[in-house]
Structure formats: C-alpha cells, structure tokens
Structure 1
Amino acid sequence: MIFTHFFAIITLVATSVALPATDSGIITVSLDRLGSRSDVQNAGSLAARAANRYIPRHIQTQPSKLMQRRAASEVDGFDHVSRRQNGDDGPKNTNITAIQGAGAYKMRIDVGTPPRPYAVFLDSSSGDLWLPAPDCKTCSGTPYFASKSSTGKVSDQNFTVTYNDGALRVEVTGVTDDVVFSGFPIKQQPFAQANKVPKLFQESPFSGVLGLGFSASSAQKAPPLLQSLVDQKRIKSPSFALHLPSGLKQATMTIGGIDPSKFSGEISFVPVDNAAGQWGLNIDQVVAQGKGVDVANKKAFLDTGTSTIIGPLDDVRKVFAAIPGSAEMANGTFSVPCTPDTSFALKLGGKDYTLKGEDFIDDVLAITGIDNAVCVAALSGDDKAKSWVIGTPFIEKFYTVWDMAVPRFGIATKVE
C-alpha cells in the first residue's frame, strides 16, 4: 500500500518477552515524517493545526535524566542504544524526514565508493531497495551511477517491482554495491536501479524506496538490509524499533535492539505471519467506542507506507455505525466529530490498543464554531479489500518493535 495517501493528497487536495540480546552494534537513526499529525483537542487547536500543517519536523529533543538513567541498564534482555553510545560500533543517529502531507517517513542511506547520499522512502510492505538509474527519465531525486563507484556492479537481471497490488510498477535492473546504513557499512548489498517508474514518482520527495519486508516480498529475492547486517556481523538480531512521536519531536529507528528511553512498561508481542513476505497479523477484535464490532475479516498487514488504516468497506461501515456523529463520504472515507472521546481500537494478543481523539483524526474537514469541528477519520474502507492495512496512525501511537527472526511484532507505551 505504499504511497496510498501521499498520492491521494496530490490528486484530491502478545506475550511480554524480549528480543535476543545483541553483542554487536545497534544502529539508531532519526526519521523524518512525510506529513504531520498535530495535536487535536478541540476546534481551536484544529484551526491552529490547519494553519501549521506544513511545519518541517526537524527539532531534536533529548530524553529526560530519568529516561537516560533507565537506558543505562539492560531492559528485558534487549541490547539497546546506551550500551555503545560512545563506542566506534555503537548507535549512530541519522535524521529521517517527514514527507509533507503524506504521513510517511524517509531516511538517508549512503551507497557506493565513494559513498553518495540518497533519501529513501521506508516501506514495510515491500522487500526491495531501489534507486534511480542515470537514464531514468521519470525518476526524481539523486541518480545512482554504478560506473562512478569502484564497488558497484550492474547485473543482467531485469525485473519489475510492484506496489499497491500491481497498480504501481517499477522497471529495474539488479546491481550490487556497498551501502552505509547510519554509519554501518554493508559490503556488496544486492539492490536495484530503476529504469522506468510511474508518472506519480516524478514529484516524489525521495530518490528511491527501502523495503523493510521479508525476503519473500523481494522481487529480486535479495536478503533484506537487516539480514545483511546480521550476516556481516554488524548486529545480532534482524530487528528494528520505531519511535514516531507527535508534533515537532524527532522520529527515530533503532536497528538490532531497542531504545529504553523511548517507551515505558513492558513490550508485548504478537506473532507475525510472514508467509507472503509481509508483516501479517491476526486481529482478535475490532473495537469502536469501547464496544466490540462484529467484522468478517480479521487478517491485517502492518505498513509504514500507508498513512491511514484501511479495512474492507463493509467492516469499516460497521465501525463507524458505532461512532455517534460519523458519516460516510466519497471513496470509502468517513467523517467524525473532532472530539477527544472518539475512539477506535484493535485487540491484538488479547490487549486493546486504542486510538482516541487526535490519534484517530487524519485531517480537518470543517470548523463550524469555536467548539465544533468535523474531521476526516484516519480509518477508511476499500470495497475490494479482504484484509486490513494498519498504517502510520497506529504505528505512530505506540513504540513498536519489528522482529524478523521469530517473527513477531512488539508494542509498548510510547514516551513522547
């Protein structure tokens, strides 16, 4: 579901256990959000949000002294950033940038010898890394020149990377080169250079896409970047954690472990079904306004490339039927009152994870008075969908851990 909301905007103006401890480095990168979801408490703050929705998200915040002390000790056996903060192989921070209006994230990687920087879109629903070829006329961003890299090699392998169930097709050629991920070098990582991309990519604020899915979702059948880090003994666990705070605070990704300063309490895990190469989950129950909703479909996929939550249209209609004041609009979207008591939850692993008020709002639709506003919900329906897509509104609400090894998905209370 990559780019679903990004291009729509252009068009439409659980057991508590731990990951294995790692003895090698952990990488922490700062993420940039492609879009913004500001605090929504009442109509007054909604008006402020509407006026300031395009403020760049580049302000770095420091953890409190309490959190720094907490980070100094082992948490549930996880290796974490503080243990190698000052070492050569310790965590290294890199900004990741918000794509304005898209509710998604990009980050910097460096490729080639000498290394050149590239901004890549983070997409957990795909498994390929690609960058623009020098002669790609429809690509945007910085082209990749294998000929200018002493370690770059172009293969004779041509293939197609698809997104959105084949609606977006990228024609690519396989290459291998050295990749630097937040200061950690990966030797001879297989990836691709794009020869032709859909027209929608021409205006994208990134050069390529970094897939965070499993190898089965790779059209190239290449090892994921995380697995290459493990194979080359940079990290022990092929895992990453996301801390995506609201407002102006810096988003971060921690690779190979966790950052205890970013969450409180325990991390609860649910099993992941990776048969299709994606981060698949089973939903125990869908909940609206604190009451269970009888939905027909309970299969879901986690997706950092989708800025909404999407479900089968008939199931989504049942959800909004339980939310007073909601109304169906065009193209499977729904409006809700911009009030803090509007709530939606997913029960995973026996626990309810709730989006309430501001967390469940995608945008302001209309302001009719100082205390009255109508908002677009961060949940929409698709009449062709047979499963749910859990996008960034849910992922941003919690501290999340993505463990490829088991595989499993961890959720904890996020510290802002």
Structure 2
Amino acid sequence: MTLLSLAISSIILLAIISDVVGAPQGYTSSARQFISLTRKTQPSRNISEWAEYAKNLRDATITKYSSQLSQKRGTGENLMVNQGIDTNFYGSLAVGTPPYPFAVILDTGSSDMWVSSSACQSTCAGTGNFDPAKSSTFKNMSKSFSVTYEKGYAAGTVGQDVVQMAGFTISDQTFGVVTTTTANFLQNPVTGIFGLAWQSLAASGAMPFWQALASNGQWNQPLMAFQLTRFLNDSRAGELEPGGSFTMGYTNESLYTGTIDYQDIPNGQASYWLQQITSMTVQGESISLPSGSASYAAIDTGTTLVAGPAASIAAIYAQIPGSQPGTGSWEGFYSYPCNTAVVVEISFGGPNWSISPGDFAFTSIGPTSDECYGAFYAIPTSGASGTPSWILGDTFLKNVYSVFRYDPPSVGFAALSEIALEMNGLAGGIPSATLGANSAMFTLEPSAAPPTRTSSAVAIVISAFFATLFSFVQA
C-alpha cells in the first residue's frame, strides 16, 4: 500500500466515526512531539511480599538521595533507582545507526542515560539489549560506568551514539553501556534509565539529552511535561497499560485546565527539580514544616511514592485516627484504617494541590483488608548540601499536570483536564516504539467487559493516530 493510499484509507475510516468522536486534532511539528508512556501496574502479593516490596522502595529512595551532590566520579558512577515491575512509567527512544528502539524509565530524579548491552547475557536476558557492533556510529569512550543500588548494581562502559526521541536527534549523546547487572535487575521490556534532571547531577559529566536540546534552542518552548495515568487498585489492570503523555518543547493543552503555576527552583539550584513545600494539610489540618532548604522537595517521576523527614511524616499520620508506625520491613511506613479517606494538600507558594485518597492508600493488608499502609514514608536526611528532604514521586504526580522548564529553571503544575482524568483505568493497547519523527500511538483493545469510553477519550487516540500518520508521510 502506498503512502497516499494509506492516508486516504485512514481518513475515510476516521470520517465514518467522526460523528461520534468529533474532529481529530492536528499533528505536531518536529519541534512539538509527544510520546506515550506505559505504566507497569501492581501484581497480586501476599502480606510478606508487600512488606518486602515496601522495604525495597524505602531503601532504594534512601540510596538514590544519600550521596554528596558535589562529588564527581571520574569512573562515571551514579546512584539510580529501578522502582520495580509495577510502578514504573517508561517511554521509548532509539539508539544507533540504523536506529533500534529501547524502553527506558523516564526519571526526572537523575541525569544519566544507560542501556543494557548485548554483552550483558544471563543477568540482562530478555530486555532487548543494545549491540554496539551493529551501530555504524557508535563510539567507545574507553571509560568505566557503574551504578550502585541498595541491593544490586549495573556496570559497563561509557559510549557515544545517535539517540532519537519523539522526533529529536542528538548525534553524539553520551550514555552508559551496561554489561553486567544483578540478576533480574531489569524486567522486560525495560532496558535502561533515561535521566531528565540537570547536568550537575550526571556522574559522567555528560549533558542530558533534554538539556542539550533546550540549551541549543531545539524546542519551541524550553520545557517538557508529564501526564501520568492511574491504574492503582484497578482489578482489571493488566501487566502493561497506557501510562500517559511525555512532551518535549510544548505543553498539551488538552490534558490540563486553567493556568500552569510555575515556581522557580530555589536559589537557581539546577540539580534536582527542586521545589520548596510552603504548606501542607492533612484532613484539613496544617502540618508544621521547617523553613528554607529543610522543606525542599525533589519532583521525581522515577520514584513511586512520597518520602520525607521522619518528624514530618509522623505529624502527617498524627492527623489520621488509628494510624500506627510500621515495624520490620514496614519501618518508616504507617498503617491506618482503610475506611478512612485521607486527603493531603501541598503548596509550593501557589495553589494547593490535592493527592487523592486512592493514591495515598499504598496497599491494604490483613485477612479482611481493613488495614492500609500509606504512600508517605520516612527516610533519614543525610544533611548533604543540596540533598532534598522530600521526594515527591508518582503518588503526587498522578494528580497534576507537571511541567519542567529550562529557562527560567522552574517547575509548574496545573489541574488535569477531563480528557486526562478519563485515561485513568482506561484499558488500551501498549504504545508502539518512538523512532525518529514517528510519534508513538496506542489503540484501544476490546475486552470481555470493556470500560465506558467517552468521545473525548477516543478522540485522544484519533489525534495520536493522525500525528503518527502525518509524521510517517512526512518522513
């Protein structure tokens, strides 16, 4: 089928259903591309497995943020976190010549990119690994690369190659080529990490992909944005579900309402995407917070829950009747009655942003499932210069449209639109890989008991289809 006939057939197909879903949106230019994210949802676990999982989340966050930020490691060592099979939001990129797609965790809490190499055999099997020998543009930088975790590691060498994402290309991007990891460190199809924080955090010293594009004026607007879907506690959720949208160079106005409230990174500290928590309420009651840097929070898509200082976390649960501190593997967490709808609101100097009770409830346990553990947990503060006291992960970010702006360095939040909210729990196919100028898209799949889909939700799929179609024709 020719490109022309493909386009004509697609337009006819869309015309048939246009009276139901309305007219599709236009496509985006190469400087305004988006990719869909895929969220790995929670598998069934018994009580002991939930406890071990919670401990791993807590330990991984402590490890990720425990290093001195000012320390530079000539070997390229960096502390990063794989949050687990059921809590990651990942997208796709392409590496090499010819380009090959990889699934990578999109992490605003770190700054280095790395992918598993084909030389990583038994421990990395099944993740779609990168073979440097098959890329005519790969360069071995003859430097070591290692990533240390609480219960594992990944190590290899530093390389350079062509990297493409959502229509943007860098011909000499520096990244880690991992040749060994702890067994089962990565779960198919995730192949690596894509750091989206600032260069000052990069252990290799390399400028991150996003920052190179922004600093060279490659984007229409100097920002990137996330909308994350919610499948938490959805009994119908599969192993992989549509995860939302990640855009570079623009904000998708269909996914938020009102204005975006931007707050500058405190003191221009371009490392983590820091924000100062100026107020917090739980069940309508204010939580006492210290001033200044003691209330700095990293806005982190690569962290699943919310971590904070022990005193503040204790103050939060003090407002929840029946809450109790956890012990053993649950140390740092708190339990509370599941029939209590906990509402937390956070402000960074502007509007209050609410976390839904469903997101606050991390998991229920016990034979009658009447006891829940909260998604806020305590971690020790190291006192290292620039290390944030709070880590605001996906528990918070699923409730807002989040924008990360290069100039001036700032973070913005906006209320989610009806279209964005309708994506929560919406069954669908898995987005295809993003290669070069071809934006990823997904299609909705039928099921035995399909959820209700409004015309606006279907219109999103139609819009994504058109964006992919036109970029394909242009290519």
Considering the TM-score relative to the shorter chain, is it more than 0.5?
yes
Using the TM superposition, give the Cα deviation of residue 134 of structure 1 relative to its aligned residue in structure 2, in angstroms: 2.5
Match of 2:325 in 1: 328
Q: Which amino acid aligns with 1:253?
A: F
> For 1:133, which of 103, 114, 117 is the aligned residue?
117
Q: TM-score, normalised by structure 2?
A: 0.64
Q: Is 1:286–2:272 an aligned residue pair?
A: no
Change (3 A) 1:383 1:220: closer
CA distance in 1, matches of 2:346, 2:245: 24
Change (3 A) 1:385 1:316: farther
Q: Which amino acid aligns with 1:398?
A: V
Q: Which amino acid aligns with 2:146?
A: T
> For 1:405, which of 388, 404, 407 is the aligned residue?
407
- Aligned 1:63-102 pairs, distance under 5 A: 102=86
Match of 1:145 in 2: 131
Using the TM superposition, give the Cα deviation of residue 233 of structure 1 relative to its aligned residue in structure 2, in angstroms: 5.4
> For 2:166, which of 171, 179, 182 is the aligned residue?
182
CA distance in 1, matches of 2:356, 2:103: 32
Using the TM superposition, give the Cα deviation of residue 358 of structure 1 relative to its aligned residue in structure 2, in angstroms: 1.1
Using the TM superposition, give the Cα deviation of residue 142 of structure 1 relative to its aligned residue in structure 2, in angstroms: 2.0
Q: Is 1:414–2:398 an aligned residue pair?
A: no
Q: What's the secondary structure of 1:160's corresponding residue?
A: strand
Match of 2:87 in 1: 103
Q: What's the secondary structure of 1:207's corresponding residue?
A: strand
Change (3 A) 1:223 1:382: same
Using the TM superposition, give the Cα deviation of residue 348 of structure 1 relative to its aligned residue in structure 2, in angstroms: 1.0
CA distance in 2, matches of 1:350, 1:232: 31
Q: Is the 8 A contact 1:285 1:298 kept in 2?
A: no
Q: RMSD over aligned Cα, in angstroms?
A: 2.8
Q: Is the 8 A contact 2:39 2:242 kept in 1?
A: no
Q: Which amino acid aligns with 1:129?
A: M
Q: Is the 8 A contact 1:23 1:236 kept in 2?
A: no
Match of 1:262 in 2: 255
Change (3 A) 1:255 1:339: farther
Match of 2:212 in 1: 228
Using the TM superposition, give the Cα deviation of residue 367 of structure 1 relative to its aligned residue in structure 2, in angstroms: 6.7
Q: What's the secondary structure of 1:318's corresponding residue?
A: helix
Change (3 A) 1:231 1:406: closer
Aligned length in residues: 331
Residues 168-189 of structure 1: per-residue CA shift (max 9 Å, x gap): 5432322111112123332222
CA distance in 1, matches of 2:85, 2:119: 29
CA distance in 2, matches of 1:325, 1:340: 9
Q: Is 1:305–2:295 an aligned residue pair?
A: no
Q: Is the 8 A contact 1:311 1:385 kept in 2?
A: no
Q: Is the 8 A contact 2:363 2:374 kept in 1?
A: yes
Q: Is the 8 A contact 1:264 1:412 kept in 2?
A: yes
Using the TM superposition, give the Cα deviation of residue 100 of structure 1 relative to its aligned residue in structure 2, in angstroms: 7.4
Residues 208-239 of structure 1: per-residue CA shift (max 9 Å, x gap): 11011111111121121113334665424442
CA distance in 2, matches of 1:194, 1:333: 33
> For 1:216, which of 200, 211, 215 is the aligned residue?
200
Using the TM superposition, give the Cα deviation of residue 374 of structure 1 relative to its aligned residue in structure 2, in angstroms: 2.6
CA distance in 2, matches of 1:385, 1:367: 38
Q: Is the 8 A contact 2:85 2:187 kept in 1?
A: no
Using the TM superposition, give the Cα deviation of residue 245 of structure 1 relative to its aligned residue in structure 2, in angstroms: 2.5
CA distance in 2, matches of 1:289, 1:367: 27
Q: What's the secondary structure of 2:370's corresponding residue?
A: strand
Q: Is the 8 A contact 1:216 1:275 kept in 2?
A: no
Change (3 A) 1:145 1:233: farther
Residues 4-27 of structure 1: per-residue CA shift (max 9 Å, x gap): xxxxxxxxxxxxxxxxxx996111
Q: Which amino acid aligns with 2:253?
A: P
Q: Is 1:316–2:318 an aligned residue pair?
A: no
CA distance in 2, matches of 1:190, 1:358: 40
CA distance in 1, matches of 2:408, 2:198: 12
Q: Is the 8 A contact 1:126 1:212 kept in 2?
A: yes
CA distance in 1, matches of 2:109, 2:253: 26
Change (3 A) 1:255 1:361: same
> For 1:154, which of 131, 140, 155 is the aligned residue?
140
CA distance in 2, matches of 1:347, 1:340: 23
CA distance in 1, matches of 2:258, 2:104: 32
User: Which deviates the most, 132-141 or 174-183?
Assistant: 132-141
Q: Is the 8 A contact 1:313 1:385 kept in 2?
A: no
Q: Is the 8 A contact 2:214 2:223 kept in 1?
A: no
> For 2:156, which of 143, 148, 172 is the aligned residue?
172
Match of 1:79 in 2: none
Residues 343-364 of structure 1: per-residue CA shift (max 9 Å, x gap): 1222211432121321311122
Match of 2:33 in 1: 27
Change (3 A) 1:234 1:160: same
Q: Is the 8 A contact 1:112 1:150 kept in 2?
A: yes
Q: What's the secondary structure of 1:394's corresponding residue?
A: helix
Q: What's the secondary structure of 2:190's corresponding residue?
A: coil
> For 1:389, which of 379, 391, 414 is the aligned residue?
391
Q: What's the secondary structure of 1:176's corresponding residue?
A: strand
CA distance in 2, matches of 1:162, 1:281: 26
Gapped regions of structure 1 (runs ≥ 5): 1-21, 38-49, 51-98
